[in-house]
Amino acid sequence: MPAEAMEATRQSPRFLWLYALAWAGGAIAYVPFLTILLPIRITAVAGTDNIRWLALITFSGAIAASVGNILFGWLSDRTGSRRGWIATGLALNVGLLLAMTVVVAPLALLGLILLWQLGLNMMLGPLSAWAGDCVPRVQMGLLGGLLAFAPAMGALAGVLITLPDLAGPNGRIMLVAALIVLCVAPALLFGRPLSVPVAVDPAAPVQARRPFIAMWLARLLVQIAEAALFAFLLIYFRSVQPGISESFIARLFCVVLVAAVPIALAAGRWADRNRRPFLPLAIAAMLSGSGLVILSLSRSVDWAIGGYIVFGLATTVFLSLHSGQTLRVLPRSEHRGRDLGVFNLTNTVPSLIMPWLTLALVPSFGFAGLFVLLALLAFTSATILSALPRT
């Protein structure tokens, strides 16, 4: 097909919005569960030994997620089918979540979490590859902007399930399971993507390898910073103002994620129109580092809030747009699911790195020392992205 015709071929907005809703369902599957419901469940079954079990389950779950995403992405490549794997993963995810309402032993909970992570990534791995099968390069910026709904929906789900008197511990898990089905099922049932030319040229894997590695490294560096703030945000703010409440931090986190959605959509559309896919990513990484610098210099809660807003907005926009533009640099279309699984390591590896960075720096240099290092990582990411070619 001539290049002009390929550029003119676009995926239907209906499928793009259904896909974005399904991706948001993936965020709802893990954000409220890992941040709220799992700690509560561990405390219920492990009692005073909850910290040790939470650390073990989190570490083991990150490994299972890494393996599962690559494995099921690769299997969906081999079978040539995405929907079947997504549907099976959805069923397993929901079923295992419901099973956690009756588990009474920490070891049994650990086993269920490992299986749940595999089921979750059986859904997420092929789901991410499905976008690569269906969305042309000319719309990848728009796709990235739409993906910004996912973290916002995950945060809103956390707010919803914790509303007073809405549901008990088991009812919250059931509510999350229902929300996942409501978000993912419409894409499986009604998503009918148009046939568009999206495949990466399989004859040029060597030329694609450099931007693939650059994009992987750039995301990893920003994700390390994001993981640190995600885990230690409340502790940091209480080091600045001891009386600050959990609810205030939850609202701040949610507001930042929601506010990032229109920014990501606008930046993604701009990248598509101007054929500058990596420039918004470089700018977002630079702003992310700037927010961390502000945090490192903050001596009052107002400055800390301002620094976090800059960081949170920039990082959310970066991660959303990056998810869309990653499809542009995959070396071979026939290995799309597997390669996206490799990219998913940038989401799980930071959870293994970040605690050691924090333990090494915060006791000696405070949070300011940690934020300076994280800012350098973000600035390095911006430098890497700035060196990528325009298309």
- 206 pLDDT above the threshold of 50: no
C-alpha neighbours within 13 Å on the C-beta side of residue 382: 18
pTM here? 0.82
Token pair for residue 64?
């299972």
pLDDT digits over 58-105, tens only? 788 888 988 999 999 999 989 988 999 999 999 999 999 999 888 888
pLDDT digits over 302-334, tens only? 999 999 999 999 999 999 999 888 888 876 777
pLDDT of residue 164: 78
pLDDT of residue 377: 95
CB 76 within 8 A of CB 128: no
Mean pLDDT, to the nearest integer, of 26-48?
A: 83
- In the chain, CATH 1.20.1250.20 sits at 12-191, 204-391
Classified by CATH at the fold level, domain 12-191 comes out as Growth Hormone; Chain: A; (1.20.1250)
- 184 pLDDT above the threshold of 90: yes
Distances (CA, A) of 72 to 11, 19, 79, 88, 373: 25, 19, 10, 11, 35
> What value does the mean pLDDT of the chain take?
85
- Give DSSP secondary structure letters for 132-166: HHH--GGGHHHHHHHHTHHHHHHHHHHHHHTSTTT
Q: How far apart are the first and last CA of the chain?
A: 19
The CATH number assigned to the domain with range 204-391 reads 1.20.1250.20
Look up residue 165 and give its DSSP letter.
T
How far, in Å, CA of 17 to CA of 89, rounded?
21
pLDDT of residue 55: 74
How far, in Å, CA of 19 to CA of 31, rounded?
18
Q: For residue 337, which of 88, 83, 117 has the smallest C-alpha distance? A: 83
Query: How many CB atoms within 10 Å of residue 163?
Result: 9
Token pair for residue 71?
């494995």
pLDDT digits over 244-289, tens only? 776 787 788 888 988 999 999 999 999 889 888 899 999 999 999 9
